[in-house]
Amino acid sequence: MPSILDSLNSPAPALWLEVSPPRGINPGPLIRRLAALVGHVDAINLTDNALGKVKMSGLVFGAAIKGRLNIPVVLNLSCRDRNRFALKSDLLGAAAVGIDAVVALNGDKIPPAADGVAIASHDIDAYRLLAMIADLNRGDTGEGKALLRRIPSIVAGAVANPNRKNLEREFELLARKAAAGARFVITQPVFDAGTGRRFIAKANALGISTMLGILPVKREAMATYLIDRVKDLKCARIHLDRFGGMSEEEVRAISLRENLALMKSLAGEAAGFNIMSGGGPSLAIELALQFSSWRKGGR
């Protein structure tokens, strides 16, 4: 299977599926569902306690995917949950089990604990985490010591929001991430080609590959939740409001059809697409398989 960088630089768009690790301790059922993607996706992208909801360690689940499915793994690492020592430890662990890429992110805000004690870590931010990855890729621990054995290089990535009202500010932040070592960026979901094209053009100018976020919507309640609870999608409200009053069957069919058309229209411009599961992988897997068939020429 091609490496992460090979797939990002290929003329054909890369295809990743984003999924949250299981809630419990058994990875088997989810891995069996993801097995349908073998030969179809270029990587599985694992979230890191997204929206502050605790899941199995992505590092552990990623190792299971590598061992059982042999699909490349992109691991999200949130600075919110770890200090610099824990982050460095997880990076060394990721290299040891063959994780292919790491996405550095600050992490979603989470509510305080019931006793009012702060539970988030603010030791370093995503920019410093990107620099840490670059140091380790050079064999430098960042503490004035060299690693006894150089780690396999981890491809570093970042996140961005193409729906942001102040888009110039988003590009300023992206430029800082590129300067810190990000090779690719995963965007928040896009719902129209114009938004995607504007973002891709700017990211290309910064020398960073764009994995456009694609979010199939499964039901009206999901669209409402995204509008009400996900701040980054406030500016995309017009694309989500229209699912109001539709049956689940209608929402799934429209979302599947329109996202597939969007991906086809941007296939020659984006480095690839990161299909988000949004709380369950069934529709995302269906979309991934349909796009894979089109990508292979089975139009």
Hey, CA dihedral for 290, 295, 298, 299, is it positive or negative? positive
Contact 75, 47 (CB under 8 A): no
Domain 4-219+248-295 belongs in CATH node 3.20.20.220: yes
Average pLDDT of the residues of the chain: 90
What is the tens place of the pLDDT at every residue in 236-252? 788 888 888 999 999 99
**Amino acid 258: pLDDT:** 96
Question: Looking at beta carbons, which pairs linking 239-247 to residues 24 or more positions away fall under 8 Å?
Answer: 239/191, 239/192, 240/191, 243/217, 243/219, 244/220, 245/220, 246/220
pLDDT in tens, 155-196: 999 999 999 888 899 999 999 999 999 999 999 999 999 999
Q: Which residue has the higher pLDDT, 226 or 252?
A: 252
The domain ranges of the chain are 4-219+248-295
| pLDDT at residue 266, rounded to an integer | 97
